[in-house]
Structure 1
Amino acid sequence: MQLDPSTGWFQGIPHCPSPNFNARPGGEISLLVVHNISLPPGQFGTGKVQAFFQNRLPTHEHPFFAEIASLQVSAHFFIERDGGLTQFVSCLDRAWHAGVSWFEGRDNCNDFSLGVELEGTDDLPYTDAQYARLAELTRQLLDAYPALSTQRIRGHNDIAPGRKTDPGAAFDWSRLHAELKER
C-alpha cells in the first residue's frame, strides 16, 4: 500500500467512499485518533461498518441499527480483525469521526485529524494483524504529514473524555509505540 499525496488516497487497499466528509479547513493534519467500532456491537466481520459509513445501514436487521441509522459519521480508515484495511475518506478531507472533541487547547479535532477505526470493543483484545496494520499505516502517515508525531496519536477517549471510551482498556498503547519504533 502506498499513499498518493496528491489525492490523499492509499493505493493497494480497498476504497469505500463515504459521503460523510467535507473540506478540511486549512489543510492541517496534525493528530491521529484511534477508535473502535463493531456492528452490531461485539460482532465482527459483518460488513455493517462499511454500510454505516455509507449511510446504507439496514435498520431492519438489528435494533441497534435503527438507533444509529440517522447518524452521519465516517473515518478515514477501518482495520478489520484480520488486518484488512479500507479507506473511506481522503486524508486531505475532513472525516466525521471525532464529534465534540478537544486537543491541546483546540476544539473540533476533525478539522486537523485523521481517524482510524479498529474493529473491536473496549474490552476485547485487538489482534496481532490489527496492530501490525495500524503500525504500517501510521508509519506512512507520519512520513507523509510532518505535523503528525508519535506524541500526537490519541484515543477517542482522550479527545472526548466523559463522552467516549474507545479504543478502551484492551488497546495496548505501549505495543503500538514499540511497533512504530521497529522500522
Structure 2
Amino acid sequence: MLTLSGHRVDQAQWCPSPNFNERPDPADISLLVIHNISLPPSQFGGGHIEAFFQNCLNPADHPYFETIHQLTVSSHFLIRRDGGLLQFVPCDKRAWHAGVSTFQGRENCNDFSLGIELEGADNIPYENAQYATLAALTQLLQHHYPAITDARITGHEHIAPGRKTDPGPAFDWRRYREQLADFREEKA
C-alpha cells in the first residue's frame, strides 16, 4: 500500500530534480497527466531517465542524447517497466512535464497537474506491473488531491495534440480504468 507524507510518496525512490518551481496556487492540484518516456527511444533500463530529469544526461552516451541533454524537464513520478516507482518533484511543486498544453480550455497544465511518466514507448505494450503501480498511485493521489476525479485523468497526447503522442496507442485506457476501479473495490 502506498502512502503519502509531505507531498512525497513514502515508497517511491526519491530522485530530486532541480527542474520545478512554485505553483501559482499550491491548493490547485486538479489534473493527472500520463506520459511515456524511454531513453534512448524504445530502449528500457539504465539510469538515463533519472539523469535526464536531474540535468545529468551525458550527451556522449548516445547520439540521441546530444539533441536533448540541455532540456530542463521533469515529472513528478516515473513508473519503471518492473513497476518500480520513482519521484522527482514533490506534488505541491510544479514539475515541468506538460509544456504548451490545454485541458478543458485552461492553458499551462503544469500549473495544476501532476505528471506520471511510464517507462515505455507509444507502440510497445506496457507491463502488468506498471498498470498495477499506476492504479495504486492514482488512487493515492486522488485520495490526497480530491479535485483529481476520473474525468480529470488524461494523456499528454490529449492536452498537447499534434505536439505529443504519449502515452500512445499501446496504453490501454480501459484496462487502466478497470484496474483503478478494482483497486478501489479492494480498498473499500
Asked whether the two chains share a fold, i.e. TM above 0.5, the reply is yes
TM-score (norm 2): 0.95
Q: Deviation string for 1:39-90 (max 9, x for gaps)?
A: 0011101210000000000110101101001100000000000000000000
Question: Aligned residues, how many?
Answer: 181
TM-score w.r.t. the length of structure 1 is: 0.98
Equivalent positions of 1:82-93 (< 5 A) are: 82-93=82-93
Q: List 4+ stretches of structure 1 deviating above 2 A.
A: none
Report what 1:47 is aligned to.
47
* Distance (Å, rounded) in 1 between the aligned partners of 2:151 and 2:174: 12
1:1-150 superposed matches below 5 A: 1-4=2-5, 7-27=6-26, 28-150=28-150
Determine what percentage of the aligned residue pairs are the same residue. Answer: 61
Distance 1:144 1:104 in 2: 22
- Give the counterpart letter for 2:22 in structure 1: A
Structure-2 separation of matches of 1:141 and 1:13:
13
Aligned Cα root-mean-square deviation (Å): 0.6
**Which residue of 1 is the match for residue 155 of structure 2?**
155
Which runs of no fewer than 5 residues in structure 2 stay unpaired?
none
Unaligned stretches of 5+ in structure 1? none
Question: How far 1:10 moved relative to its partner?
Answer: 1.0
Cα distance per residue 1:119-160 (max 9 Å; x no partner)? 000000000000000000000001000111111100000000
In 2, the alpha carbon distance for the partners of 1:99 and 1:15 equals: 23
DSSP 3-state at the match of 2:154: strand
For the residues of structure 2 that align with 1:13 and 1:177, how far apart are their CA atoms?
A: 22
How many Å apart are 1:12 and its aligned residue? 2.1
SS at match of 1:81: coil
Cα distance in 1 between the residues matched to 2:118 and 2:85: 9
Q: CA contact under 8 A between 2:11 and 2:85: conserved in structure 1?
A: no
CA apart distance, 1:167: 0.2
Q: Do 2:53 and 2:74's aligned partners in 1 also have CA atoms closer than 8 Å?
A: yes
